[in-house]
C-alpha cells in the first residue's frame, strides 16, 4: 500500500491540534471537564499510534523513504519533513511508550496537576519528540528540541514542590546549554555551507575544510550527546528524574534521552560517516565510560527511581557503542553495529518504561522509594512483584527476553571487531545491572512488610486504578518477551533499518535539494578536491562488498 | 488611582495600537508585519490597559478567555495547514481573490488564516504573561509591607504557602 508523504505531518499536527482543542474547550477546573481532556488525549494517542504504525510499515517494512516538502516549496527553501526506517522505528516506539504510560498517568496524576494542564502538556511533549524524529533540517530540529524541552520542563515542575523546582532549574539550565551548543553548530553549518537542510549539509560537508568538519562534528557530539546523557554530560538526568510524579519519570525515561540518541545516529550516519572510523576510539571510550559510570552510579543510589535513572545513562552507553562500530570492517555485515544498536534502543524504550512504571507503582504503594525503609510488598501485591521481576531480568539481559538478544548482538559485533576492552566493560556493566536489579527487587518486595508512610493512598483503594497501572506494565513486559522470542525477524528488520539509515546518497536523492542559485562559491570551497569521502578509500576492501555505499 | 496622563494616553493609544495590530496582521504576508508582531502590538495595548486600570480589572475582563485564545489560535493555525491537503500538500497555500466595494482589491489565502492563528496565540500568551507579572510585582510590594494582597487569596489557583515563602525570600535578598 502506498502511503502519502502527507502522513508525516500527522504525528506533529494531530497532538498539537488535540492539545489546542483541549485548551479551547476546557476551562480549568471541574472534574467532569478533566474527563473530557482524558478522552481527547487518549484519542490523540491512539491516532498517533495508528499513524506511526502506517509510517513504520511503509518505511521499515517496505524500504520506502517518505519526504514531505511543506507547502510544496522545494528542499532548501521550504521545510523538509523526512521519514525513513530509523525515524519510523522511533516514532512507533514513542507512540507505544506514550500510549502505555498514559493509563498509568491517568490513574496516578492528582487532580491539582490535571487542572494545571497535565494532559495538553503530555501531547505537547509528544509533538516535540515526534517532530524531532521527523525533522529534515537542523533549524527545525532545534525548534522541536525546544518544544520538547519546554513541555518537559513544565511537566517536571508542575505541582511546584520545592524539590521539583530545584531539579527543574538544573534540568532546564543544562539542557539550554546543550541547545545553545547545538545552535552554534547549526550557525556554523549555515555560515560555511550556506544551508540548514540536512540533505544539503550531507552533500556539501565533504567539500568543507577539515577544521570546519571537525568543529561541526564536535559541537554536534557535545550538543546531542548531552541530550542523550553520554558520559561527561549526563548530570542533568540523575538530578531531575526522581522528583516529578512517577508517570512523568516513566515518560521521560522512555522518550527524552532517546531523542538525543536518535540525533547522534542520524548525524553520524548522514553527515560524517567517515568519523565513525577515525573517531572510533573516542566514541568507544565515551561509550565504555558511560556504561560504567551509569552502572556504578546506580549501585550507590538509595532509591528505586534514582537507580533506574542511572541505568538509563548506562544503556545509552550501549547504544553509543553500537553506533561506534557501525562501519567497522568485520565479517558479519556492514552496519551490523547500528542494527544491534537500533534493536537495543527498541528493547530499552519498552522495558525501561515498564520498569520505571513498576518502580513508580511500588513508590505509590509505599509512599516512599527509599530502599532502606521499604520492603515485603510481595505478600500484598504478588502480580506487581512478578512484573517487576520480569522487567528487571529483561533489563539485565536474561535469555527469553529482548535484553538478551540485543546485548548478545552488540557483544557479537564488538568481539568481532576485536574491541576487547569495551566488550569486557559492557559485560561488566550488564553484571552490575543484574546486581542492581536484584537489589531493587529484594529490598522492595522481599522480607517483612515495611511501609514508612502512614498516609493511605487513593491508589490502594481503587481496583480500577490498580488495573490501569498494572495492565500497561504487563503489556510492555509481554512485548519485550515477544521481541526476545522473535529475535531473528526483529534483528533482520533492525538491520534493514540500519542499512537504510547508512545509505546517505539515497537520503540526499530522496530529498533532492534544488541546486543553489548562488554563482559564487564560498572561498573555502575547493573544486579540485575529490568528492569521494575519505572513508571510502580507507576501508575500501570492506566497503566495496556492501551494496549500499555509492560506487565512487 | 493611576496618573491622569496614563488614563488619557490609554483612551487615545489603545484604539490606535489595536488598529495598527490589525493593519500589521493583514499586510504581513509580503511586507514586514505578520501575526507575531501584530500579536505583540495588541498585547502592548493590553499592557497599557493593565497600567492604567489595574491588573485585576483587566483580568476579570479578559482573563477567562486567555487559555481558550491560545487553543483557538493553535487550532486555527493547524487547520490552515490541513486545508492545504486539498491541493495535495500539507501547508500548501490556497489563494482566492476578492473585489470588495470599500476595501478594493484583496488577495486572501490560507497563510492569512495561519497568521491569524499565530496572532491569537501570541496575544493570549503575552497577555497572560503580563497579567502574571503584574500580579507578582504587586504581591512582592504588599508582602514587603507586611500584609497579604486580598486578590491573591481569592484566586483558586493560589497556594498561600508556596508563593508567600518565595516572594518574602526574594524581598529579603
Range of the domain at A336: 5-516+524-545
Question: Which chain A residues contact residue B92 at CB under 8 A?
Answer: 71-72
Task: Say whether pLDDT at A24 is over 50.
Answer: yes
DSSP string, A433-462: HHHHHHHHHHHHHSSS-B----SPPHHHH-
| Digit-coded pLDDT (tens) for A475-534 | 999 999 999 999 889 999 999 999 889 888 889 888 876 544 443 444 444 444 334 444
Question: Which chain A residues contact residue B67 at CB under 8 A?
Answer: 23, 27-28
Task: Say whether pLDDT at B170 is over 80.
Answer: no
What is the per-residue pLDDT for A1? 44
What is the per-residue pLDDT for B148? 44
Task: Say whether pLDDT at B163 is over 80.
Answer: no
Q: Is residue A550 part of a domain?
A: no
- Segment A314-338 mean pLDDT: 87
Of B68, B85, B162, which has the smallest distance from its Cβ to A24's Cβ? B68
Higher pLDDT, A152 or B171: A152
Q: Is residue A296 part of a domain?
A: yes
Q: At A82, which helix (H) or strand (E)?
A: strand A80-83
Q: Residue A92, CB half-sphere, CA atoms under 13 Å: how many?
A: 20
Question: Which chain B residues contact residue A19 at CB under 8 A?
Answer: 71, 74
Spell out the residues 6+ positions from residue A441 whose beta carbon is closer than 8 angstroms to its own: A385, A388, A389, A392
Residues β-bridged to residue A80: A69
A:148-167 residues touching chain B, CB 8 A cutoff: 160
CB contact under 8 A, A27 and B93: no
Task: Say whether pLDDT at B161 is over 60.
Answer: no
Confirm if A100 and A353 have CB atoms less than 8 A apart. Answer: yes
Q: Residue A303, CB half-sphere, CA atoms under 13 Å: how many?
A: 18
Q: Which three cell numbers stand for residue A298?
A: 546506580
What is the per-residue pLDDT for B160? 39
Task: Say whether pLDDT at A89 is over 90.
Answer: yes
| Digit-coded pLDDT (tens) for A108-158 | 888 888 888 899 999 999 999 999 999 988 999 999 999 999 999 999 988
What is the per-residue pLDDT for A293? 93
Dihedrals phi, psi of A74, to nearest 5 degrees: -75, 170
> Which one, of A398, A401, A430, A399, lies nearest residue A414 by Cα?
A430
Q: How far is CA A206 from CA A91, A502, A505, in A?
A: 30, 16, 13
Question: Which chain B residues contact residue A6 at CB under 8 A?
Answer: 85, 89-90
What is the per-residue pLDDT for B54? 83
Q: Is residue A134 part of a domain?
A: yes
What is the per-residue pLDDT for A56? 92
Model confidence at A104, pLDDT cuts 50, 70, 90, reads very high
| Digit-coded pLDDT (tens) for B114-140 | 899 999 999 999 999 999 888 877 766
Determine the residue of chain A that is closest to B69 in CA distance.
A24
Determine if the pTM surpasses 0.90: no
Contact of A13 with chain B, judged by CB distance below 8 Å, is answered with yes
CA A403 to chain centre: 16
Model confidence at A550, pLDDT cuts 50, 70, 90, reads very low
When the pLDDT of each residue in chain A is averaged and rounded to a whole number, the result is 86
Dihedrals phi, psi of A274, to nearest 5 degrees: -65, -25
What is the per-residue pLDDT for A520? 41
Query: Residue A251 and residue A165: Cα distance in Å, rounded?
Result: 19
Secondary-structure breakdown of chain A: helix, strand, coil percentages, each rounded to the nearest 5: 75, 5, 20
Determine the residue of chain B that is closest to A115 in CA distance.
B157
Q: Show me where the domains of chain B are located.
A: 4-141
Q: Is residue A551 part of a domain?
A: no
Q: Quick check: helix, strand or coil at residue A332?
A: coil
Most confidently predicted of A113-117, A217-221, B49-53, B57-61: A217-221
Contact of A19 with chain B, judged by CB distance below 8 Å, is answered with yes
CB contact under 8 A, B72 and A70: no
Question: Which chain B residues contact residue A16 at CB under 8 A?
Answer: 74, 78
Distance to chain A for B112, nearest Cα, Å: 14
> Which one, of B86, B75, B77, lies nearest residue B111 by Cα?
B77
What is the per-residue pLDDT for A274? 87
How many residue pairs bridge chain A and chain B with CB atoms within 8 Å of each other? 64
- Segment A303-320 mean pLDDT: 93
Contact of A456 with chain B, judged by CB distance below 8 Å, is answered with no
Task: Say whether pLDDT at A461 is over 80.
Answer: no
What is the per-residue pLDDT for A162? 84
- Segment A357-365 mean pLDDT: 90
- Rg (Cα) of chain A, in Å, rounded? 23
Task: Say whether pLDDT at A468 is over 60.
Answer: yes
Encode burial over A11-28: b for 16+ CB neighbours within 10 A, e otherwise.
bbbbbbbbbbbbbbebeb
CB contact under 8 A, B89 and A20: no
> Which one, of A129, A106, A107, lies nearest residue A40 by Cα?
A106
Determine the residue of chain A that is closest to B94 in CA distance.
A71
Spell out the residues 6+ positions from residue A391 whose beta carbon is closer than 8 angstroms to its own: A351, A354, A355, A358, A473, A476, A477, A480
CB contact under 8 A, B78 and A16: yes
Query: Residue A64 and residue A87: Cα distance in Å, rounded?
Result: 12
CB contact under 8 A, B89 and A69: yes
| Number of domains present in the structure of chain A | 1
Dihedrals phi, psi of B112, to nearest 5 degrees: -65, -40
- Which range has the worst mean pLDDT, A13-22, A421-430, B41-50, B76-85? B76-85
Dihedrals phi, psi of A378, to nearest 5 degrees: -65, -30
| Digit-coded pLDDT (tens) for A393-439 | 999 888 889 999 999 999 999 998 888 999 999 999 999 999 999 99
Determine the residue of chain B that is closest to A67 in CA distance.
B89
Distance to chain B for A129, nearest Cα, Å: 18
Model confidence at B99, pLDDT cuts 50, 70, 90, reads confident
Confirm if A204 and A192 have CB atoms less than 8 A apart. Answer: no
What is the per-residue pLDDT for A215? 93
Distance to chain B for A325, nearest Cα, Å: 39
Percent of chain A with pLDDT over 70: 90
Sign of the Cα pseudo-torsion (A134, A136, A138, A140, in order): negative
Query: Residue A71 and residue A76: Cα distance in Å, rounded?
Result: 13
Q: Is residue A552 part of a domain?
A: no
Task: Say whether pLDDT at B149 is over 60.
Answer: no
Q: Is residue A398 part of a domain?
A: yes
Amino acid at each position: 500500500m502506498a502511503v502519502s508523504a502527507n502522513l508525516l505531518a500527522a504525528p506533529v499536527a494531530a497532538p498539537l491540534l488535540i492539545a489546542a482543542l483541549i485548551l479551547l474547550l476546557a476551562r480549568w477546573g471541574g472534574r467532569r471537564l478533566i474527563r473530557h481532556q482524558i478522552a481527547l488525549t487518549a484519542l490523540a494517542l491512539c491516532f498517533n499510534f495508528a499513524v506511526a504504525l502506517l509510517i513504520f510499515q511503509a518505511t521499515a517494512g517496505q524500504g520506502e523513504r517518505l519526504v514531505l516538502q511543506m507547502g510544496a516549496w522545494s528542499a532548501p527553501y521550504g521545510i523538509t519533513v523526512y521519514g525513513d526506517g530509523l525515524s519510523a522505528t522511533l516514532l512507533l516506539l514513542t507512540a507505544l511508550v506514550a500510549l502505555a504510560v498514559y493509563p498509568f498517568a491517568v490513574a496516578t496524576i492528582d487532580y491539582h496537576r490535571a487542572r494545571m494542564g497535565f494532559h495538553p502538556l503530555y501531547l505537547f511533549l509528544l509533538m516535540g519528540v515526534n517532530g524531532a524524529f521527523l525533522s529534515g533540517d537542523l533549524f527545525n530540529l532545534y525548534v522541536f528540541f525546544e518544544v520538547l524541552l519546554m513541555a518537559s520542563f513544565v511537566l517536571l515542575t508542575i505541582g511546584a514542590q520545592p524539590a521539583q523546582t530545584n531539579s527543574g532549574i538544573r534540568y532546564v539550565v543544562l539542557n539550554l546549554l546543550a541547545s545553545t551548543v547545538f545552535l552554534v553548530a547549526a550557525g556554523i553549518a549555515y555560515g560555511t555551507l550556506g544551508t540548514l537542510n540536512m540533505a544539503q549539509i550531507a552533500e556539501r560537508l565533504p567539500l568543507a575544510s577539515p577544521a570546519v568538519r571537525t568543529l561541526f562534528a564536535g559541537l554536534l557530539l557535545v550538543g546531542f550527546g548531552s541530550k542523550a546523557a553520554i558520559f561527561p554530560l549526563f548530570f542533568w538526568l540523575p538530578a531531575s528524574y526522581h522528583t516529578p510524579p512517577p508517570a512523568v519519570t516513566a515518560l521521560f525515561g522512555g522518550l527524552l534521552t532517546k531523542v538525543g540518541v536518535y540525533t547522534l545516529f542520524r548525524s553520524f550516519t548522514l553527515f560524517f560517516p567517515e568519523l565513525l572510523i577515525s573517531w572510533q576510539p573516542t566514541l568507544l571510550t565515551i561509550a565504555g565510560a558511560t556504561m560504567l559510570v551509569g552502572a556504578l552510579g546506580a549501585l550507590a543510589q538509595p532509591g528505586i527511581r534514582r537507580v533506574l535513572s542511572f541505568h538509563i545513562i548506562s544503556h545509552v552507553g550501549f547504544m553509543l557503542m553500537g553506533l561506534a562500530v557501525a562501519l567497522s570492517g568485520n565479517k558479519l555485515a556492514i552496519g551490523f553495529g547500528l542494527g544491534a544498536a537500533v534493536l537495543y534502543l527498541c528493547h530499552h524504550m519498552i522495558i525501561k518504561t515498564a520498569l520505571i512504571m513498576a518502580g513508580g507503582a511500588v513508590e505509590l504503594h509505599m509512599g516512599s522509594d527509599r530502599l532502606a525503609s521499604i520492603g515485603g510488598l510481595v505478600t500484598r501485591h504478588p502480580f506487581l512483584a512478578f512484573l517487576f521481576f520480569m522487567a528487571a531480568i529483561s533489563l539485565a539481559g536474561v535469555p527469553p527476553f529482548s535484553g538478551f538478544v540485543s546485548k548478545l548482538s552488540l557483544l557479537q559485533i564488538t568481539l568481532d571487531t576485536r574491541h576487547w576492552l569495551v566488550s569486557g566493560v559492557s559485560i561488566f556493566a550488564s553484571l552490575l545491572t543484574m546486581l542492581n536489579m536484584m537489589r531493587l527487587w529484594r529490598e522492595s518486595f522481599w522480607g517483612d512488610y515495611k511501609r514508612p508512610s502512614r498516609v493511605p493512598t487513593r491508589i490502594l483503594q481503587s481496583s480500577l486504578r490498580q488495573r490501569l497501572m498494572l495492565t500497561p506494565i504487563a503489556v510492555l513486559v509481554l512485548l519485550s518477551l515477544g521481541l526476545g522470542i522473535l529475535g531473528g525477524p526483529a534483528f533482520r528488520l533492525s538491520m534493514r533499518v540500519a542499512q537504510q539509515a547508512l545509505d546517505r546518497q539515497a537520503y540526499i536523492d530522496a530529498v533532492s535539494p534544488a541546486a543553489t542559485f548562488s554563482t559564487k562559491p564560498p572561498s573555502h570551497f575547493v573544486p579540485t578536491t575529490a568528492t569521494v569521502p575519505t572513508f571510502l578509500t580507507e576501508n575500501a576492501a570492506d566497503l566495496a562488498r556492501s551494496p549500499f555505499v555509492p560506487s565512487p | 488611582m493611576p496618573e491622569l496622563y496614563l488614563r488619557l494616553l490609554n483612551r487615545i493609544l489603545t484604539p490606535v495600537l489595536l488598529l495598527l495590530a490589525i493593519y500589521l496582521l493583514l499586510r504581513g504576508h509580503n511586507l514586514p508585519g505578520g501575526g507575531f508582531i501584530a500579536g505583540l502590538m495588541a498585547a502592548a495595548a493590553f499592557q497599557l490597559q493593565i497600567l492604567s486600570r489595574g491588573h485585576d480589572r483587566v483580568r476579570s475582563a479578559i482573563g477567562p478567555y486567555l487559555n481558550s485564545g491560545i487553543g483557538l489560535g493553535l487550532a486555527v493555525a493547524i487547520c490552515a495547514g490541513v486545508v492545504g491537503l486539498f491541493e495535495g500538500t500539507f501547508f500548501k497555500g490556497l489563494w482566492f481573490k476578492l473585489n470588495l466595494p470599500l476595501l478594493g482589491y484583496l488577495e486572501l489565502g490560507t497563510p492569512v488564516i495561519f497568521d491569524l492563528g499565530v496572532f491569537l496565540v501570541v496575544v493570549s500568551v503575552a497577555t497572560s504573561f503580563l497579567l502574571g507579572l503584574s500580579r507578582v510585582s504587586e504581591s512582592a510590594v504588599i508582602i514587603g509591607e507586611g500584609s497579604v494582597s486580598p486578590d491573591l487569596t481569592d484566586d483558586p489557583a493560589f497556594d498561600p504557602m508556596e508563593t508567600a515563602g518565595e516572594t518574602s525570600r526574594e524581598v529579603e535578598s
